[in-house]
Amino acid sequence: MSADPVAFARDLLRCPSVTPAEGGALTFLQTVLAGAGFAVDRVTFSEPGADDVENLYARIGTGKPHLVLAGHTDVVSPGDEAHWQHRPFGGDIADGILYGRGAVDMKGAIACGLAAVLDHIAAAGGQPKGSISFLITGDEEGIAVNGTVKLLQWAAARGEAFDHCLLGEPTNPKTLGDMIKIGRRGSLSGALVVTGTQGHVAYPALADNPVRRIVDIMSAVMAEPLDAGSDHFDPSNLEFTSVDVGNKTLNIIPAEARARFNIRYNDRHTRDSLKALVEARARAGAQGGRFRIDWDPSNAHAFVTTPGPFVGLVSEAIAEVTGRKPVLSTSGGTSDARFIREYCEVVEFGLVNRTMHGIDERVATADLVALTAIYRRIIDRYFG
């Protein structure tokens, strides 16, 4: 390889691009891609009540097929930097390990994709046999309203059409080559709010304790599984994450109780059908008592990419480099693939996810080299 993924990753890690800050990461990518002949656009999107977010789209070539490499340069906060052994934005390398916030999630994979594409283009004489694009957002770790979803709309309005997408989210549980993500569960959150009548605990007949009823409703909602899973997904699960009455006085029955919850759901449900199911169970548990569910907005839908030639191509490239046949999975959280799948087939494969969002987030430099080799094989096969 003439392009160095370790150097690219180190330089990206030195950019403090905590959501929604660009931090120099997109500027670095623009410089490298423009120097390689890409047409590069920097686009900022806005939304009332949300931070402005800068994004990058770069393309080389005009023909088909059109492969897009997607990712995000924004990272979560490192927290208290005093707890890090290596600087979170230092790009330090020690004993073959590169340290820094975003090393795994997901500046490392962007660096590998960049190196692989540059080497492929150089070998092809400066132009691919089709088109290659980079679709890079700055708010994947945020609320995701001014990033990929709008960048895709912007690209479509310009006439951009993609055939396939490779998204470099960290997908491997233990070792590079373990797992490809071909789908993601949906995510839906809400608050169960139970209304009662405030009163003195010594005179319960004069009050209506919402704590009693919220316990009954929570039990009714959780009593039975939401489903038994599907061909590509584990069973959906609902988890209550907090219960609060805001009551600091021991001898007052509160007027209201709240319980927050999150549901990770599979392709047996839509958001509307899931809401209807949970609300029906809640009504049964409430037995006529007063309650409501305040649903949070959600753009995290369940989806699955049916395995086909592109999934097979990616799997074969991984096996050739690592000697491992990756598992096809829909596990884990959500990603920008939920937006991209509306425009083209998308497959996720990146680094080992063990240290993502953690203190001293890190990646072996050998894994960066290996992932670049995998991406290069995918690209060569795709245009071959």
Q: Which residues are catalytic, by number? A: 74, 140
Secondary structure class of 2 (helix, strand, coil): coil
Distance separating alpha carbons of residues 18 and 101, to the nearest angstrom: 9
Asked if 300 and 145 count as a contact pair (C-beta separation under 8 A), the reply is no
Three-class SS state of 64? coil
Please state, in angstroms and rounded to a whole number, the distance separating the CA atoms of residues 170 and 363: 11
369/373 Cα distance (integer angstroms): 6
Give bridge partners of residue 303 from the DSSP assignment. 184
Place of tokens 């599907």: 230
DSSP letter for 340, please. H
Tokens found for residue 31: 């410089």
**Beta-carbon count within 10 A of 243 CB:** 15
Closest CA to 310 of 268, 261, 344: 344
